[in-house]
Amino acid sequence: MLIIKKTEEAISSLYLRQPHFVLIHGLSGGSWCWYKIRCLMENSGYKVSCLDLKGAGVDRSNPNTVLDFQDYNQPLMDFMSALPDNEQVILVGHSAGGLSVTQATHKFAKKISLAVYVAATMLKAGYLTDQDVKDGVPDLSEFGNAYDLEFGLGADQPPTTAVVKKELQRKIIYHMSPQEDSTLAAMLLRLGPIQALQSARFSEENDDIDTVPRVYISTLYDRVVRPEQQDAMIKRWPPSKVYVLESDHSPFFSTPFVLFGLLVRAAASVGCTLEI
C-alpha cells in the first residue's frame, strides 16, 4: 500500500508540474479555433484546456443577452477560481481574448505563470481611454460595411452583437489560411457580444498583475488588429518578450507549427517545460 501511495503522489506531483496551457478565443470564435494547436500540444505531452466564453462556441447562451464583460468572461473566471492553489497555468488569448487574459491576470496572478497575447488586445486597464479604443478596437472601415449586426435591446439602441460578414471573412480574417480552415470558420463563427467587450474595464488597485510575465506574438499581415495597433499596445505596456509571425489574424490556422513552437518557447522562458 505504501508503494502504491508513493506512486500516486509522484504521478500527482508530475501532473501539477506539467505545463498547462489555457487557450482563449476571440470575438465570434470558440474553442474550436485552437484545434490544430491543441492537437500539437497534446501529442507532445502538454496539458491543454480550450474554453468557450459565454455565448460562444458550444455555449448555448444567446449572445444578445450577454451585455457585460464580467458575464461574458465568467467561464474563464470560474475555471481559474476552480484551479488548486498550488497549480499555475499559461494563459493564451487571441484577438479580443486578450481582454479575458488581462482580467484573469488582475484577479488570479498567483495562479498564472505566463500570459501570452496572440494578435490580441493587450490593455492593462481595458477600454478606459480614447487611446485604448484606438489601439485595441479593430478598424475595418476600409472594407466598407464589414459587419452583420443585431440589436438585442431594440433598433433605437446600440448593437449588442456583431460578426464579420460571411463574404468578407476570408479576405479580412483568414487571407493566408488554408481554404478548408476558412470554410470551417464560416460554418462555426457566431455573433459576438460587442456591447460586453466595450464594457471591459479593469481596476488596477491592489493586484499583482505586473508580477506575471507577458509575451506578445504579433502578426505581420494582420487585417483585424493592425500591426501598428499591436505595436502601440506593446509600447504602452511592454511585455517581457515579443515574437513576430508572418501571418494573418489567425496564426492557429495559417502558421500552426510556428505558433506552437513559439508558445512552447515562451513557456520555456519562464521555466515551464515538459519533464521526461
SS3 labels along the chain: CHHHHHHHHHHHHHHHHCCEEEEECCCCCCHHHHHHHHHHHHHCCCEEEEECCCCCCCCCCCHHHCCCHHHHCHHHHHHHHHCCCCCCEEEEEECCHHHHHHHHHHHCHHHEEEEEEECCCCCCCECCCHHHHHHHCCCCHHHCCCEEEECCCCCCCCCCEEEECHHHHHHHCCCCCCHHHHHHHHHHCCCECHHHHHCCECCCCCCCHHHCCEEEEEECCCCCCCHHHHHHHHHHCCCCEEEEECCCCCHHHHCHHHHHHHHHHHHHHCCCCCCC
**Residues catalogued as catalytic:** 95, 222, 249
